[in-house]
Amino acid sequence: MYGEAMSTQDRLIETTRELLWERGYVGTSPKAILARAGVGQGSMYHHFTGKSDLALAAITRTGEELRASVDRLLDGAGSAYERVEAYLVRERDVLRGCPVGRLTMDPDVIASEELRAPVDETIAHVRNRLAAVVQEGVDSGEFASHLVPADIAAAIVATVQGGYVLARASGATEAFDAGARGLLTLLAAGSPDSPAPSAPSND
C-alpha cells in the first residue's frame, strides 16, 4: 500500500490519518492501525507512546496539509472573489467529508484538549485567511462596503462544513454544490463584474 521509501513512522501516521477519517477516534484501534500499516506492535511503541500520541501526530499532519492547501488557493492569482471561489469549488471528496471538520463531531477528540488543539488551530486559520481575502475585496471596492469580513469568513466555513453533512446525509453532492453556488451568488451581489459561480469539482 505504501512505498518502500516511506518510513515506518510515516506509515503509521498516514494509516492513522486514513482510519480517523473513515472511523473516528474510537473506531481507530491500535490493532487496525498496525494491520493496515503492515508493521508490528513494537514498531508502533518505538515511535509513539500510544494511540493518543499517534492520533495527535496524524491530526496535526492533516491540519498542516489542509492549511497549506487553503493557503495555496488564497495566495493565488485573481481577484478576491476568484480566490474565494477557488476555495469553494476546489476538488474535494465531498461524500467522505472534511478530514478536519469530521473530527469536531468526534466526542473523544473534542474531550481531549491536546487532540482538539490542531483541529481548532486549522479551523481558525482557514477563517482568518478567508477574512483577510474578503477584507481585500472590501478595501478595493470589489465587495460591498458593509460586509464584515470575519462574518463572511465564518459563513463560508459554515457553508462548506454544513454542505459536507448534507451531502453525506443524502448520499449525493448536490446539496454541497448548491450551497457553494448560493454563497458565491450572494457574495457577487456587491460585485457586478464578477463571473457567474462555477460548479464545484467533486471528481
pLDDT tens profile 4-19: 568 999 999 999 999 9
- Tell me if 176 sits within 8 A of 94, measured CB to CB: yes
Apex 13 CA angle, 160 and 96, nearest 5: 30
Mean pLDDT of the chain: 90
The more confidently predicted of residues 199 and 61 is: 61
pLDDT in tens, 119-129: 999 999 999 99
Per-residue pLDDT averaged across 141-170, rounded? 95
Contact 146, 189 (CB under 8 A): no
pLDDT of the residue at 6: 81
Domains and CATH numbers, the chain: 8-188 (1.10.357.10)
How distant, in Å, are the alpha carbons of 1, 17, 89, 106 from that of 33? 13, 10, 32, 18
CA 14 → CA 17, 84, 95, 136, 160, distances in Å? 5, 29, 20, 36, 24
Question: Between 30-37 and 8-27, two packed helices, what is the crossing angle to 10 degrees?
Answer: 140
Q: How many CB atoms lie within 10 A of CB 38?
A: 12
73-121 pLDDT per residue, tens: 999 999 999 999 999 999 899 999 999 999 998 999 999 999 999 999 9
> What local confidence, expressed as pLDDT, does residue 94 receive?
94
Between residues 120 and 194, which one has the greater pLDDT? 120
Average pLDDT score over residue span 14-35: 94
Contact 127, 149 (CB under 8 A): no
Question: Longest C-alpha distance within the chain, in Å?
Answer: 62
Check residue 172 and give left, alpha or beta (phi > 0: left; psi -120 to 50: alpha).
beta
Tens of pLDDT along 36-61?
999 988 889 899 999 999 999 999 99
Residue 193's Cα: distance from chain center in Å? 29
